[in-house]
Structure 1
Amino acid sequence: MKRRAFGLGLAVLALTARAQTAPTPAEIGRYGSLHAAAWRGDLARIDALADQVRLNPRDDHGRTPVHVAAFAGQREALRRLARHGADLQLLEHDRYDAVTIAAVADDEETLRTLLALGASARLVTSRYDGTALIAAAHLGHDGVVRQLIAAGAPLDHVNNLHWTAMIEAVVLGDGGARHQAVLQALLAAGANPRLTDGHGRTPLQLARERGFSAMVAMLEGR
Structure 2
Amino acid sequence: MNSIQKLSLLILMVSLPLQGCGNSTNTKSMEYSTQDSTSLLKVVSERNVERITEILKSQPDLEVKDQKGRTALMLATYNNDNTIAEILMVSGADVNAQDAMLNSPHLYAGASGYLEILKMTLSHGARFDIFNRYGGTALIPAAEKRHLEVVKLLTKVPKYPIDHVNNLGWTALMEAIVLGTTGETQVAIVDVLIKAGADVNIPDNDGITPLQHAKKRGMTTIAQLLKDANAHE
- Is 1:145 aligned to 2:151, yes or no? yes
Counterpart residue type for residue 136 of structure 1: A
Q: Which of 119, 127, 130 is the aligned partner of 1:112?
A: 119
Q: Which residue of 1 aligns with 2:85?
A: 78
CA change 1:211–1:131 in 2 (3 A) is: same
Q: Which residue of 1 aligns with 2:21?
A: none
Taking structure 1 as the reference length, the TM-score comes to 0.80
Structure 1: runs of 5 or more not aligned: 1-31
Q: Which residue of 2 aligns with 1:189?
A: 196
Aligned residues: 191
Structure 1 position 119, deviation (Å): 2.7
Q: Which of 169, 183, 187 is the aligned partner of 2:176?
A: 169
User: Could you say what the CA RMSD is over the residues aligned between the two structures, in angstroms?
Assistant: 1.8
Task: Supply the distance in 2 between the matched residues of 1:40 and 1:184 (Cα, whole angstroms).
Answer: 41
Identity %: 34
Larger Rg, first or second structure (1 or 2)? 2
Native 8 Å contact 1:138 1:172 kept in 2: yes
Q: Which residue of 2 aligns with 1:134?
A: 140
Structure 1 position 55, deviation (Å): 0.9
CA change 1:161–1:112 in 2 (3 A) is: same
Q: Which residue of 2 aligns with 1:27?
A: none
* Superposition pairs of residues 1-222 of structure 1, within 5 angstroms: 33-50=39-56, 51-120=58-127, 122-152=128-158, 153-221=160-228, 222=230
Task: Supply the distance in 2 between the matched residues of 1:41 and 1:143 (Cα, whole angstroms).
Answer: 26
Q: Which residue of 1 aligns with 2:7?
A: none
Runs of 4+ more than 6 Å apart: none
Structure 1 position 105, deviation (Å): 2.1
Structure 1 position 172, deviation (Å): 0.4
Structure 1 position 144, deviation (Å): 0.9
Task: Supply the distance in 2 between the matched residues of 1:41 and 1:105 (Cα, whole angstroms).
Answer: 20
